[in-house]
Amino acid sequence: MMRLTFMSGTFMSALAGLLLLAAVPATAQADPVLEAARAGGEVGEQADGYLGLRTGGGGTLKAHVDQINIKRKAVYTDLAVKRGVTVADVAAATACELFQNRVAPGEYYRDERGVWHKRVGNAPVKLPPYCGQ
């Protein structure tokens, strides 16, 4: 179960908007292995701002996910230092944006309680409470 504590929803919304452009290099995947795994439901975005293995995955897939998460953490850490907030706050704010803009219909996402959900059709992804909906 994920345990996350965050700032107010209003601050998170403002921070998320600022972070999206800065986080693009870490979140944009041109990795065909990851894209196939996303489409196949093996990986998905998580409420903690990192990519997660939904099905356990093999060594190669885990290595790809780990590489993305290492890059994301580096971006989150840099932004946290610059903004005077925690890495978890930056990651969570980015997760809000990823949930809204990255999870395509048929793909999976993991909520703040650690439960995986599949996005159905064009229905919006249910955002965590800290996203300031």
pTM beyond cutoff 0.85: no
pLDDT in tens, 80-104: 999 999 999 999 999 999 999 999 9
Give the Cα separation of 8 and 62 in Å (integer): 33
pLDDT in tens, 38-87: 999 999 999 999 999 998 767 889 999 999 999 999 999 999 999 999 99
Domain ranges of the chain: 32-121
Q: Count Cβ atoms below 10 Å from residue 87 Cβ, excluding itself.
A: 16
